[in-house]
């Protein structure tokens, strides 16, 4: 039983075959290494990047020298994980969710709606029609482009302020 077999091809590539079936291929210029694991996973290391393909999950993981990590899922969802802990998730319908390292979240929907969630849980929703909704522990408020503001307080009290100043 062998531990590994090393082949040097005429084009200068090196192929190392391990006893479990894993194969490691090193390019002639030694700038790229590709590992084909016995389970079908593939790891490629070109130009200081690491690209790993998980066969069972059909997911690609790429790590960049600057610390950025990118995951691509079979449903076309893409997640970027930044070195500072921030994340960006692009969902197949083109919704983009940003999770900041300080706990702040921002989501951009394809229709132009933007949802911002503060670390304390306060939420602001800005709709594409210009309306704005603010949710806090104390109240929910809807602000209309014409200046009208409707507020519902946590005790059940409701208030409407019209652009004319009437309450």
pLDDT at 129: 95
Indicate whether this model's pTM tops 0.95. Answer: no
Instruction: Assign 167 a pLDDT band (cuts: 50, 70, 90).
Output: confident
CA 97 – CA 114 distance, rounded (Å):
10
| Contact indicator for 42, 34 with CB cutoff of 8 Å | yes
In this predicted structure, the answer to whether residue 90 has a pLDDT above a threshold of 70 is yes
Return the residue matching tokens 């704005």.
132
- Distance in angstroms (rounded) separating the CA atoms of residues 51 and 29: 19
Q: Does residue 139 contact residue 126 with C-beta atoms inside 8 Å? A: no
Indicate whether 93 pLDDT > 90: yes
The domains found in the chain, sorted by start residue, are 1-74 (2.60.450.20)
- Provide, rounded to the nearest whole percent, the portion of the chain with pLDDT above 90: 87
Q: So what's the pLDDT on residue 110?
A: 96
pLDDT tens, residue by residue, 48-80: 899 999 999 999 999 999 999 999 999 999 999
Name the token pair of 127: 């709709």
4 pLDDT band (50/70/90 cuts)? confident
Q: Is the pLDDT of residue 1 over 60?
A: no
Q: What is the pLDDT of residue 105?
A: 96
pLDDT recorded at residue 48: 85
């Amino acid at each position: 039983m062998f531990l590994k077999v090393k082949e040097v091809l005429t084009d200068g590539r090196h192929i190392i075959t391990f006893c479990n079936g894993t194969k490691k291929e090193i390019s002639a210029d030694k700038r790229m290494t590709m590992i084909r694991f016995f389970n079908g996973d593939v790891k490629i290391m070109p130009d200081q990047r690491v690209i790993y393909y998980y066969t069972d999950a059909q997911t690609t993981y790429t790590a960049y020298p600057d610390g950025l990590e990118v995951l691509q899922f079979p449903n076309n969802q893409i997640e970027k994980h930044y070195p500072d802990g921030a994340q960006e998730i692009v969902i197949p319908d083109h919704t983009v969710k940003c999770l900041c390292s300080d706990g702040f979240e921002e989501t951009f929907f394809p229709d132009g709606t933007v949802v911002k969630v503060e670390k304390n849980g306060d939420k602001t929703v800005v709709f594409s029609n210009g309306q704005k909704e603010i949710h806090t522990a104390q109240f929910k408020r809807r602000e209309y482009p014409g200046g009208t503001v409707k507020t519902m307080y946590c005790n059940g009290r409701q208030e409407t302020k019209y652009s004319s100043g009437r309450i």
